[in-house]
Each structure stands twice: as structure tokens, then as C-alpha cells.
């Protein structure tokens, strides 16, 4: 297949639309089911690069959950804890493969934003992963292959229209890449920069200790940022992104947005949230929405009479602001990466409030001394990578 005709481009009025190889060669993908659209393919090709690099850097099966050409979450395939299984709605007793764990964790970073996502898998999609995907609202998946059982499961999703794309794992893009904007062609070298532990050698703080898990987490953060619309900041814990702040015009807004998402992820583990009793038959998206509102300042929207009965078997007690603040304060061991330098120490101040203990950022600000001083104040270990990771 040298080209694939699309229904339309970014919007229904943008026709005709297609994807193809400029040199006339075969596309590196096969559509096994469904009919992916323009944005689907943007998500698919960006997310595939992320999980491929993450697998190469860590040696672990990797997955991502993409929305609007940025990851809502990304993770490596570490086993799920009992708490993970509860908050990510894993069926009791379900047997999970490492690649299934990777996707469940990637989607679990921000389940609200992952609604209608594009899934990316570094490894062959197996039945365990397909069974979990089948129960989630998702637009499609890209992987280097599918087991027969997994493909049959996925073909039953969305009334048979679920998008399933297979990519050639050995495909290497051209050294130069081009894009047109307003009739003007832009050309640049493909970003082949390799992210690994060597980027963490220039430790600029008094605390110079990065445990092995923190190194993995920072690699997850930096590779995630490489494929996130800039400006961007990413918080990571135990091999999974727990907060991604993408496309903000100011660095501190990236840090705040990602930090709030990290706090939201952690709030799902609060005893009151873990103890919520949902009515039988409630859909996963409705549970996600209810949890999000319950843990927010708008909690009364799901606790008022006439509304809570539709969602819960028993009316929950409200989470007070003091309880939420105290719970978030127990978070620790979080890593954070930034795709460009922190211009002020306020970014470190905000990150610290979400339990950040390790930072990787390029450095190079005229106020680096203030950023380092702020990190030292809290005993945070910080490395300057020397490499900007903008993505547009």
C-alpha cells in the first residue's frame, strides 16, 4: 500500500485527504480493521515513536495513551498493585501480561483525558491487552503485531469499526522531514536524539543521588516530553507518567497543569475514593467523571440530592480541602522532566508540592543559580541534560 485515502483532514471540510510516501514506496503500516482518520494517524505515528524509544531505553514493554497528538499517559510494563487494579478498573482475577500492564498504567495516568484515546504498544498486542481495550472508550491502537485472539477481540469493538493498525517495527524514517504550513514547506532533520542515563550525569545540586527507579522515571519523563506538544512538563512515578502538561505558553503553567494532574492521580488512592460504592452497571467513563468531580472543588455536583443516588449506592462523605491537602502532602519520590529550562525557581516550588524529589531539565537559563538554590532548599536532586526537547 503506497497511499491511504482518508475521509477528511483535521476537519470535515478539509478534503481531499490522504497519507502516502513521497518517494512512492510502501507505507510502513497496515490497516487491519476500521478506517483511521487524519488525526488518528498523527496520534498513531507519534505514539509509536514514543513507545518504541521507551522500550529501547528501558528494556521494558511500553505503552502510551494519546489524545490530540500528545500523550495523556505513558508507562512501562511493571506489575500492577492491588491498588492499581482497583483504581484502573481491572476485573478481579484478570491475568495480565507486561504489555497489558503497560497500557493499563498509561491510560491510568489521566483517565479523563484518555477518553477516546489512541493506544500505542511497543510489543505484540495480546488477548489480555485486547480484553482491557475492548472495555474502554478508545479510537484505535497501533502495535508491531497482534495475536489472532487479540485481533478477533478488537474486531468486535465499536460495532466492528475499531481502528487497528500494524506498523513495521523495523521502519526507519528519512533523515530529513518536511511539513507544509500555509503553502510554505518547512524542512528539518528528524529528531534522532537518543535519551538514556547519560543525560543525568550533570548533577548540579547538593543532593547528587538518583536511585535506579528515579533514573528510569526520568527517562520515561524525557521520552514522553519528546513527543508532547511544547511547552511541556511531565511528572512520573514508578515508571508511569502521572501528570503531563502540554502546549502551554508559559513554563510555570505547564508545571502547574502537570502537577494538578499528578495530584488528581494520587487522589484516586485516597481511602475515601477507594471506598466509593458505585451503583451496579455504571459505565467506566461515568465512574471516572464522578471521581474527578468528587475530588474537585465542585464535589457538590455529585453529592446533591437527586444526583448522588444515580451514581452511588451510599452517599459519600465530602472530601474536605484540608483532607485533600494533607493527602497530597504524603506523595513522595516523584520525578519531573521539562522539555526546556526552568526560567525561575517557582517551577521547583510547585513541583515540590506534588512530591517531586528528582528533576531533569536542560539548564541554560540566566537564572539557573536561583533554580538550583530552590532545589537545594528542598533537598531535590537535579540534573541538567543540556538538550531541549521541543515538539510541534
Contact by Cβ (8 Å): 155, 177: no
Close Cβ partners of 261 (under 8 Å, ≥ 6 residues apart): 109, 110, 113, 235, 242, 243, 244, 245
State residue 363 phi and psi, 5-degree precision.
75, 175
CA end-to-end distance (rounded Å), the chain? 28
Active-site residue, from 163, 231, 264, 347: 231
Q: How far is CA 318 from CA 94, 294, 299, 324, in A?
A: 32, 8, 7, 10
For 13-48, the three-class secondary structure string (H helix, E strand, C coil) is: CCCCEEEECCCCCCCCEEEEECCCCHHHHHHHHHHH
Beta bridge partners of 246: 232
Query: Looking only at Cα atoms, what is the longest distance across the chain?
Result: 63
CB 79 within 8 A of CB 149: no
Catalytic residue among 55, 67, 215, 270: 67
Antiparallel, parallel or unpaired: β 29-33 and 232-237? unpaired
Cell digits for 269? 488512592
Q: Nine-digit cell at 123?
A: 510489543
Catalytic site includes residue 67: yes
- Euclidean distance between CA atoms 274 and 281, whole angstroms: 18
Backbone φ and ψ of 384, nearest 5°: -95, 120
**Residues 6 or more apart whose Cβ sits within 8 Å of residue 212:** none
* Burial profile 1-26: b = 16 or more Cβ within 10 angstroms, e = fewer: eeebebeeeeeeeeeebebeeeeeee
Is position 68 annotated as part of the catalytic site?
A: yes
Asked if 302 contacts 186 with a C-beta cutoff of 8 angstroms, the reply is no
Report, as residue numbers or ranges, the catalytic residues: 67-68, 231, 392
Amino acid at each position: 500500500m503506497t497511499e491511504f485515502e482518508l475521509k477528511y483532514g483535521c476537519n470535515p471540510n478539509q478534503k481531499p485527504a490522504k497519507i502516502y510516501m513521497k518517494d512512492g514506496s510502501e507505507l510502513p503500516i497496515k490497516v487491519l480493521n476500521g478506517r483511521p482518520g487524519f488525526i488518528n494517524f498523527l496520534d498513531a505515528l507519534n505514539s509509536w515513536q514514543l513507545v518504541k524509544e521507551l522500550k529501547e531505553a528501558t528494556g521494558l514493554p511500553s505503552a502510551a495513551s494519546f489524545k490530540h497528538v500528545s500523550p495523556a499517559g505513558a508507562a512501562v510494563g511493571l506489575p500492577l498493585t492491588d491498588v492499581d487494579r482497583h483504581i484502573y478498573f481491572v476485573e478481579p482475577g484478570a491475568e495480565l501480561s507486561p504489555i497489558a500492564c503497560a497500557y493499563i498504567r498509561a491510560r491510568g495516568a489521566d483517565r479523563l483525558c484518555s477518553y477516546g484515546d489512541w493506544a500505542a504498544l511497543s510489543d505484540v498486542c495480546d488477548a489480555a491487552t485486547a480484553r482491557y481495550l475492548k472495555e474502554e472508550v478508545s479510537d484505535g491502537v497501533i502495535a508491531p503485531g497482534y495475536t489472532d485472539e487479540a485481533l478477533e477481540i478488537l474486531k468486535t469493538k465499536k460495532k466492528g469499526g475499531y481502528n487497528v493498525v500494524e506498523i513495521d517495527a523495523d521502519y526507519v524514517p528519512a533523515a530529513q522531514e518536511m511539513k507544509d504550513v500555509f503553502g510554505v514547506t518547512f524542512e528539518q532533520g528528524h529528531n534522532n536524539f537518543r535519551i538514556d542515563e547519560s543525560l543525568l550525569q550533570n548533577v548540579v545540586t547538593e543532593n547528587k543521588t538518583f536511585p535506579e527507579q528515579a533514573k528510569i522515571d526520568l527517562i520515561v519523563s524525557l521520552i514522553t516530553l519528546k513527543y508532547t506538544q511544547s511547552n511541556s512538563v511531565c511528572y512520573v512515578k514508578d515508571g508511569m507518567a502521572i501528570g503531563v502538561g502540554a502546549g502551554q505558553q508559559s513554563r510555570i503553567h505547564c508545571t502547574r497543569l502537570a502537577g494538578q494532574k499528578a495530584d488528581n492521580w494520587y487522589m484516586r488512592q485516597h481511602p475515601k475514593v477507594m471506598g466509593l460504592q458505585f451503583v451496579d452497571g455504571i459505565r467506566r467513563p461515568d465512574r471516572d467523571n464522578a471521581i474527578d468531580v468528587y475530588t474537585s472543588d465542585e464535589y457538590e455536583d455529585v453529592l446533591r440530592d437527586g444526583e448522588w443516588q444515580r451514581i452511588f449506592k451510599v452517599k459519600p462523605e465530602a472530601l474536605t480541602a484540608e483532607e485533600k491537602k494533607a493527602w497530597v502532602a504524603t506523595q513522595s519520590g516523584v520525578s519531573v522532566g521539562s522539555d526546556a529550562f526552568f526560567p525561575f525557581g517557582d517551577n521547583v516550588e510547585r513541583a515540590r508540592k506534588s512530591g517531586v524529589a528528582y528533576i531533569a531539565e536542560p539548564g541554560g537559563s540566566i537564572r539557573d543559580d536561583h533554580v538550583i538554590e530552590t532545589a537545594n532548599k528542598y533537598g531535590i536532586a537535579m540534573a541538567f541534560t543540556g538538550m531541549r526537547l521541543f515538539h510541534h
